[in-house]
Structure 1
Amino acid sequence: MKTLGKALMLLALSSAIPAAYAQTTTDPTAFAGGADVQAQTRAMLAEMKPDQGFMWRPLVRDGARVAAIEIWKKPGRPAVHPAEAEYAIVLEGTGTLISGGTLADPTTRNPGLVDGSRIEGGTPRTLGPGDVILVPAGVPHWFGITGERLVLLGIKLPGAK
């Protein structure tokens, strides 16, 4: 047992992984540190074309559950995700969220996305860094951009089946 413990400690030290983590090899946790979030955001901004209004890229994932960086430079179409709740945290930039109400002229793009021309009767909210948003499954929502961009950590959670 002492030999196994020493081997795990050596492995942990040699690979820069904390010893406590090396001993917990069944940990299913997906993790991205602040530096990872910033690096991915910088890489995405560098890849975006000048006329590109939106980019989405997963940061951590567990099957259907995903947390992704979303960069909005132009507003998209109002949308509904029928079977997914959407949490978002504003990382940088400013914008507007309109949510609730009724989606006008709905078009089903795929089973997970219905978009429309506008939201009628929604509630507008001003967005800035640190704001936290929860849009339940089936609720229309739209993001407007008031500055250069709006960067979100968007988290999609599938609804109960």
Structure 2
Amino acid sequence: MTAQVEAMRTSMTADQGFMWKPLVRNGEVVAALEYWRKPAKPAVHPDQAEYFTVVAGSGTMISGGRLVDPVTTNPTLLEGSEIEGGETRALKPGDVVLIPAGTPHWFGITGERLVLLGTKIPQSATDSNK
């Protein structure tokens, strides 16, 4: 894992704020490293829960509340201008978080980076377990 994170760091360009690297795939479910150097827009995955562990760096997460000015970026992603009424949490290595499908969320970066090992779990995968 440490080698993968380092390889991502060294391959990012100076202006690149995000990199995603899939590690394991099982049908629709993908576990991937997410390397953040700059925050992105607040987001919602309407039909995907997101489960992640912070593996390096630190940051903040705002989740819950309401996504303002939502725009559909692709079928699995809405992005907005901000989140109203969300809860702010500090993130550090070892933290584990589950963001339910349809929940607005945003990551801020404290310092140089925030690296997550994340899995987006499609609603269809959770429905089949009922």
1:133 and 1:109 map into 2 onto residues whose CA distance is 24
From the CA coordinates, give the structure whose radius of gyration is larger.
1
Match in the other structure for 1:64: 28
The ranges of structure 1 where at least 4 consecutive aligned residues each deviate by more than 4 angstroms after the TM superposition are none
Task: Kindly provide the amino acid, as one letter, of the partner of residue 113 in structure 2.
Answer: R
Match in the other structure for 1:86: 50
1:113 is aligned to 2:77: yes
**Greater fraction strand:** 2
Task: Kindly provide the amino acid, as one letter, of the partner of residue 159 in structure 1.
Answer: Q
Quote the sequence identity (%).
63
1:42 and 1:60 map into 2 onto residues whose CA distance is 18
Task: Kindly provide the amino acid, as one letter, of the partner of residue 60 in structure 1.
Answer: V
Task: Kindly provide the amino acid, as one letter, of the partner of residue 61 in structure 1.
Answer: R
Task: Kindly provide the amino acid, as one letter, of the partner of residue 86 in structure 1.
Answer: E
Structure 1: give runs of 5+ residues left out of the alignment: 1-36
Aligned residues: 125
2:49 and 2:80 map into 1 onto residues whose CA distance is 18
1:83 and 1:45 map into 2 onto residues whose CA distance is 30
1:77 and 1:148 map into 2 onto residues whose CA distance is 18
**Greater fraction helix:** 1
Q: Give the Å deviation of 1:76.
A: 0.5
1:153 and 1:108 map into 2 onto residues whose CA distance is 25
Q: Give the Å deviation of 1:149.
A: 0.2
Task: Kindly provide the amino acid, as one letter, of the partner of residue 119 in structure 2.
Answer: I
Structure 2: give runs of 5+ residues left out of the alignment: none
Task: Kindly provide the amino acid, as one letter, of the partner of residue 140 in structure 1.
Answer: P
Match in the other structure for 2:68: 104
TM-score (normalizing by structure 1): 0.76
Deviation per CA, 1:101-125, whole angstroms, max 9, x where unpaired?
0000000011000000000000000
TM-score (normalizing by structure 2): 0.94
Query: What is the aligned-residue RMSD (CA, Å)?
Result: 0.8
Task: Kindly provide the amino acid, as one letter, of the partner of residue 107 in structure 2.
Answer: F
Match in the other structure for 2:15: 51
Deviation per CA, 1:87-136, whole angstroms, max 9, x where unpaired?
01000111000000000000001100000000000000000000011000
